[in-house]
C-alpha cells in the first residue's frame, strides 16, 4: 500500500478527561502500524459531543493525505453515544456492507456486538468507519475489515493502476500482499491546534512580521464610511455667528457719533434677539460678549474704556462717558465671520472625534458618521470580576477593563463586554450572538497552544478566514486576526501586556481604518527616542514599554521595569512602545545612547521635563 495517513479518533468523555485511560485508540494505532507499510497515523481524542466530533472529522476529511478514519467509542445505546449521529451528516455515500462485515466479524465473538450502531461511509476521498469503544471490540472490527481497506482507498481515489494490481492479487497473481508489512511511523497527536503531522506539536500558523500583518489588516478591513470624503462634502447650513456679535462686554453705539457722554437706552444680554429700536448718536446700549448688536449700532466700546456717570432710580446705568473714539466695526464679529453658510465645515480632513463632533455641533448637526461597533470578549475559566471574592486558582480579570478603557480613550464606543470560560460551545455561541450586532470583536486569551485554547478552532468552525495566527513580536506572538465578510475578529493573547501591546499595534489601526481614517493616521505616531538603559535583545522584535523624559529638548526613554508579558505594572508610566529589533549574531543587545523608533501610546506622553 502507498503512503497514506490514517486518523484514529477516540470518542469518549472519560478518555478526553484522562487520555491515559484510552486503550482502544492506541490499540488501533498499533494495529495499523503492524498491518500497513508506509502508513502514517494521527490520533486525537474528543468528548462525546456531536459538534466536537464533527469538527475533528471535518478537519481530517479536508486533508488530502488522510484517507481512512477509524473512530472508536460512542456507538452504543447510552444517551451520550452520538458518534453515528455525528458521522452520518458528513458522509456523501454510506457503505452499509462494510458496516455489515464489521458487525458479522464481531457477532462471531459476542452477541453484544448487536448493541453497536456504528456507520461506515465515504466523505470526500476519506473512508470513515465507526468502531465500538473497547480494546477487544476494535481488534475484532479491525481484523474484519483490514484487508479490504487498501482496495477501498484506491477505489475511492479512482487510482486505476492500483485497483488493477489489487484485483490481480485477489485473483492469485503473486505480488507482495498489501496487508502484511509494518507501518513506517505511528505518530499520536492528541492536541487540537496542529495539522496532524510530526510537526503537529508546533503551531500550524506561520510567524508573520508585524508590518505584513498590518498590511493584511488594511487589505481585509472594509471602511464602514469614507470619513474624509464625508467630512469634505459637508457645508455649513448656518452662519457663525448668525448675527453681528459683540466681542466685548461694553457699550454698542453708532461710530458716526463721538466720544463723550451717552445715554444708556437698554441692556442686551447674550441670547436676546437683535434689537431693532432706533439709536441716536449720543445713545448706546449696554451689551455683553456674544450678544447681538442692536440693528442700528456698528461698534462696541469695551467697558474698560468707559466711565459710569449716573444710575436711574432703579439702579440701572443711565449715563456713561465713552473715553475713546468709536470706530466702525470695533469689537464686532460680522455675520458668518467664523464660518459662512455654504462654507466647508472641515477645511481639511481631521478624523479626531473631538474635532468632528464639536464642529458638527457648532452648526447644529449631530455626527451621522457610522462608527464601527466593537465588543470586548475575555476568555478564561480562571477569571474573576473585580468585585468578586478571591477564589483559589482564580485571578482577577484585567483585560476586559483595560480593553474597554482603551477603546474609550481612543474615542470608540464599546457596545458590549463579555467574559467567557474556556469552552468551545460557550465561545461559539457568544461569537455567533455578538456578530449579529457588532463589526469587531476584540477578544483576549485562548489563542495559544493549550488544549483549552478554543478561539482558533471556534473561528474555523464558524468559517472565519484566519489571516494570521502568529506574529513575530514580543509580547503578542499568538495574535490572531480573522474575518468573515465584514465581520472582524482580533484574538489578542491573554497575557495582559500582550493584549495591551497588540491592541495598540493591530486592533486600534483596524478600527480607525474601518471608521474611515487616513491610513497614515491609523497607526500610533512614531518618534525617535534615545535609549538610556542597555538591554539584551530577544529573538523576536520587541515592543518595550518605556517612559519618555524630555532632557534639554531631547527625548530619552527609560524602560518601565520587568517586561514579562503578565506584569501589567509595566504599563504604569509607559509613554511609548520602544521598537527593539530581533537579536542577530552581530547584534545581541541594545546599547545605552542608541536611538530607536517608539510608538506613542498617550497624549500626555512626556512624563518629565529635565
Ligand atoms: N506551548 C506554548 N505555550 C504558549 C505559547 C507558545 O507559543 N507555545 N505562547 C505563549 C505566549 S507568547 C502567550 S502571550 C500566551 C498567550 O496565551 P493565550 O492567548 O492562549 O491566553 P491564555 O492561555 O488564555 O492566558 C494566558 C495568561 O494570561 C492570563 N489572562 C488571560 N485572560 C486574562 C484576563 N482577562 N485578565 C488577566 N489575565 C488574563 C491567563 O490567566 C494566563 O496566565 O501563551 C503562552 N503559551
Ligand atoms: O508573546 Mo507572549 O505575548 O510573549 O507573552
Ligand atoms: Mg493559552
Q: Where are the domains of the chain?
A: 4-163, 210-224+371-506, 227-238+339-363, 245-333, 526-609
Residue 297, pLDDT score: 98
Residue 114, pLDDT score: 92
Pairing of strands 554-559, 542-551: antiparallel
Question: Measured between alpha carbons, how far is 2 from 581 in angstroms, rounded to an integer?
Answer: 47
Q: Whose CA is nearest to atom 36 of ligand 1?
A: 397
The 10 Å CB-count burial string (b at 16+, else e) for 571-583 is eeebbbbbbbeeb
CA of 500 to the centre of ligand 3 (A): 16
129: its cell numbers? 468507519
Q: Whose grid coordinates read 495517513?
A: 5
For ligand 2, say whether the CB of 563 is within 6 Å of any of its atoms.
no
Question: Measured between alpha carbons, how far is 483 from 503 in angstroms, rounded to an integer?
Answer: 17
Can you count the helices (H) and strands (E) in the chain? Answer: 17, 32
Q: Which atom of ligand 1 is nearest to the CA of 498?
A: 14
Do the domains spanning 4-163 and 210-224+371-506 agree at the CATH topology level? yes
Residue 174, pLDDT score: 39
Instruction: Enumerate residues 6+ apart whose C-beta is below 8 A from 529.
Output: 546, 548, 555, 556, 557, 576, 578, 595, 596, 598
More confident residue, 9 or 150: 9
Residue 177, pLDDT score: 33
pLDDT tens figures, 341-369: 989 999 988 888 889 999 999 999 988 77
Q: Is 271 exposed, middle or buried (0-12, 13-18, 19+ CB in 10 A)?
A: exposed
Cβ atoms 224, 372 nearer than 8 A: yes
Pocket test for ligand 1, best of 493, 539, 565, 568 (most atoms within 8 A of CB): 493
Lowest mean pLDDT among 150-164, 182-196, 267-281, 442-456: 182-196
Residue 335, pLDDT score: 97
Does domain 245-333 sit in CATH 2.170.190.11? yes
For ligand 1, say whether the CB of 299 is within 6 Å of any of its atoms.
no
Residue 193, pLDDT score: 39
Residue 378, pLDDT score: 98
Examine the pLDDT at 189 and tell me if it is beyond 50. no
Examine the pLDDT at 602 and tell me if it is beyond 80. yes
Q: Which ligand is nearest to the CA of 203?
A: 1
Q: Whose CA is nearest to atom 2 of ligand 2?
A: 475
3-state SS of 68-130? EEEEECCCCCCCCCCHHHHHHHHCCEECHHHHHHHHHHHHCCCHHHHHCCCCEEEECCEEEEE
Cβ atoms 101, 118 nearer than 8 A: no
Query: Ligand 3 (ion): which residues have CB within 5 A?
Result: 448, 450, 453
Cβ atoms 308, 290 nearer than 8 A: no
CA of 610 to the centre of ligand 2 (A): 34
Q: Which ligand is nearest to the CA of 444?
A: 1
For ligand 1, say whether the CB of 448 is within 6 Å of any of its atoms.
yes
**Nearest residue to 75 via CA among 14, 133, 16:** 133
Does domain 4-163 sit in CATH 3.40.980.10? yes
User: CA gyration radius for the chain?
Assistant: 37
pLDDT tens figures, 218-237: 999 999 877 888 888 899 99
**What distances in angstroms separate CA 319 from CA 246, 303, 331, 411, one per listed residue?**
20, 13, 21, 53
Does the predicted interface ipTM exceed a cut of 0.85? yes
Pairing of strands 526-531, 595-600: antiparallel
Q: Which atom of ligand 1 is nearest to the CA of 399?
A: 35
Average pLDDT over the chain, rounded to an integer? 90
Examine the pLDDT at 182 and tell me if it is beyond 50. no
pLDDT tens figures, 362-398: 999 988 778 899 999 999 999 999 999 999 999 999 9
Q: What is the CATH number of domain 210-224+371-506?
A: 3.40.980.10
Q: H or E segment at 142?
A: helix 135-145
370 SS3 class = coil
Q: Looking at residue 504, what DSSP letter applies?
A: I
For ligand 2, say whether the CB of 10 is within 6 Å of any of its atoms.
no
For ligand 1, say whether the CB of 150 is within 6 Å of any of its atoms.
no
Q: Which ligand is nearest to the CA of 451?
A: 3
Q: Whose grid coordinates read 448688536?
A: 293
For ligand 2, say whether the CB of 83 is within 6 Å of any of its atoms.
no
Instruction: Enumerate residues 6+ apart whose C-beta is below 8 A from 523.
Output: 214, 505, 509, 599
214: its cell numbers? 498590518
Q: For residue 8, what pLDDT band results from cuts at 50, 70 and 90?
A: very high
Q: For residue 188, what pLDDT band results from cuts at 50, 70 and 90?
A: very low
CA of 422 to the centre of ligand 3 (A): 10
For ligand 2, say whether the CB of 495 is within 6 Å of any of its atoms.
yes
Q: Looking at residue 292, what DSSP letter applies?
A: B
Does domain 526-609 sit in CATH 3.40.120.10? no
For ligand 2, say whether the CB of 509 is within 6 Å of any of its atoms.
no
For ligand 2, say whether the CB of 445 is within 6 Å of any of its atoms.
no
For ligand 1, say whether the CB of 18 is within 6 Å of any of its atoms.
no
Examine the pLDDT at 198 and tell me if it is beyond 80. no
Examine the pLDDT at 491 and tell me if it is beyond 90. yes
pLDDT tens figures, 47-66: 999 999 999 999 899 888 89
For ligand 2, say whether the CB of 476 is within 6 Å of any of its atoms.
yes
Q: Looking at residue 344, what DSSP letter applies?
A: B
pLDDT tens figures, 238-292: 999 999 999 999 999 999 999 999 999 999 999 999 999 999 999 999 999 999 9
517: its cell numbers? 481614517
Q: Which atom of ligand 2 is nearest to the CA of 566?
A: 5
**What distances in angstroms separate CA 504 from CA 214, 231, 508, 576, one per listed residue?**
12, 25, 5, 11
For ligand 2, say whether the CB of 27 is within 6 Å of any of its atoms.
no
Residue 191, pLDDT score: 35
Amino acid at each position: 500500500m502507498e503512503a497514506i495517513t490514517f486518523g484514529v479518533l477516540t470518542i469518549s468523555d472519560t478518555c478526553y478527561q484522562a487520555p491515559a485511560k484510552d486503550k482502544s485508540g492506541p490499540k488501533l494505532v498499533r494495529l495499523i502500524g503492524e498491518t500497513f507499510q508506509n502508513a502514517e497515523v494521527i490520533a486525537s481524542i474528543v468528548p462525546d459531543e456531536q459538534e466536537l466530533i464533527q469538527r475533528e472529522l471535518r478537519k481530517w476529511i479536508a486533508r488530502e493525505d488522510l484517507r481512512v478514519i477509524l473512530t472508536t467509542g460512542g456507538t452504543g445505546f447510552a444517551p451520550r453515544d452520538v458518534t453515528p449521529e455525528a458521522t452520518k451528516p458528513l458522509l456523501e455515500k454510506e457503505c452499509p456492507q462494510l458496516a455489515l462485515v464489521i458487525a458479522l466479524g464481531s457477532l462471531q465473538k459476542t452477541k453484544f456486538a448487536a448493541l453497536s450502531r456504528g456507520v461506515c461511509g465515504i466523505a470526500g476521498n476519506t473512508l470513515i468507519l465507526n468502531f465500538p469503544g473497547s480494546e477487544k471490540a476494535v481488534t475484532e472490527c479491525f481484523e474484519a475489515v483490514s484487508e479490504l481497506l487498501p482496495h477501498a482507498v484506491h477505489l475511492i481515489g479512482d487510482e486505476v493502476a492500483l485497483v488493477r494490481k489489487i484485483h490481480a492479487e485477489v485473483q492469485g497473481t503473486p505480488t507482495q500482499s498489501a496487508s502484511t508489512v509494518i507501518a513506517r511511523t505511528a505518530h499520536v497527536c492528541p492536541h487540537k491546534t496542529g495539522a496532524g503531522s510530526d510537526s503537529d506539536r508546533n503551531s500550524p500558523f506561520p510567524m508573520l512580521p508585524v508590518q505584513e500583518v498590518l498590511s493584511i489588516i488594511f487589505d481585509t478591513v472594509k471602511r464602514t464610511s469614507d470619513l474624509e470624503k464625508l467630512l469634505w462634502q459637508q457645508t455649513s447650513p448656518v452662519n457663525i455667528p448668525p448675527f453681528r456679535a459683540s466681542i466685548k462686554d461694553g457699550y454698542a453705539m453708532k461710530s458716526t457719533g463721538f466720544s463723550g457722554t451717552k445715554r444708556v437706552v437698554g441692556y442686551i444680554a447674550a441670547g436676546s434677539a437683535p434689537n431693532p429700536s432706533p439709536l441716536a448718536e449720543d445713545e448706546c446700549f449696554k451689551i455683553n460678549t456674544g450678544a447681538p448688536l442692536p440693528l442700528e449700532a456698528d461698534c462696541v466700546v469695551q467697558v474698560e474704556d468707559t466711565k459710569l456717570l449716573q444710575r436711574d432710580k432703579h439702579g440701572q446705568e443711565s449715563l456713561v462717558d465713552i473715553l475713546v473714539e468709536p470706530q466702525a466695526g470695533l469689537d464686532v464679529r460680522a455675520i458668518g465671520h467664523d464660518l459662512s453658510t455654504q462654507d466647508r465645515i472641515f477645511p481639511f480632513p481631521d478624523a479626531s472625534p473631538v474635532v468632528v463632533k464639536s464642529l458638527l455641533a457648532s452648526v447644529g448637526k449631530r455626527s451621522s458618521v457610522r462608527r464601527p461597533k466593537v465588543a470586548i470578549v475575555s476568555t478564561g475559566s480562571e477569571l474573576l470580576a473585580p468585585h468578586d471574592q478571591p477564589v483559589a486558582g482564580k485571578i482577577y480579570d484585567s483585560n476586559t477593563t483595560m480593553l474597554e478603557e482603551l477603546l474609550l480613550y481612543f474615542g470608540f464606543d464599546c457596545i458590549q463586554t463579555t467574559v467567557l470560560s474556556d469552552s468551545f460551545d460557550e465561545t461559539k455561541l457568544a461569537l455567533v450572538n455578538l456578530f449579529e450586532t457588532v463589526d469587531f470583536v476584540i477578544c483576549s486569551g485562548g489563542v495559544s497552544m493549550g488544549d483549552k485554547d478554543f478561539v482558533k478552532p471556534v473561528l474555523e468552525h464558524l468559517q472565519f478566514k484566519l489571516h494570521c495566527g502568529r506574529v513575530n513580536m514580543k509580547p503578542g506572538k499568538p495574535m490572531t486576526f480573522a474575518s468573515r465578510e465584514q465581520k472582524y475578529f482580533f484574538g489578542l493573547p491573554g497575557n495582559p501586556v500582550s493584549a495591551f501591546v497588540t491592541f495598540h499595534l493591530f486592533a486600534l489601526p483596524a478600527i480607525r481604518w474601518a471608521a474611515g481614517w487616513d491610513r497614515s493616521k491609523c497607526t500610533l505616531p512614531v518618534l525617535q527616542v534615545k535609549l538610556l538603559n542597555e538591554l539584551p535583545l530577544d529573538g523576536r522584535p520587541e515592543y518595550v514599554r518605556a517612559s519618555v523624559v524630555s532632557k534639554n529638548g531631547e527625548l530619552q526613554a527609560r524602560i518601565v521595569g520587568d517586561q514579562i508579558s503578565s506584569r501589567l505594572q509595566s504599563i504604569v508610566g509607559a509613554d511609548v512602545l520602544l521598537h527593539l529589533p530581533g537579536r542577530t549574531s552581530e547584534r545581541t543587545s541594545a546599547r545605552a545612547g542608541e536611538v530607536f523608533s517608539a510608538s506613542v501610546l498617550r497624549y500626555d506622553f512626556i512624563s518629565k521635563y529635565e
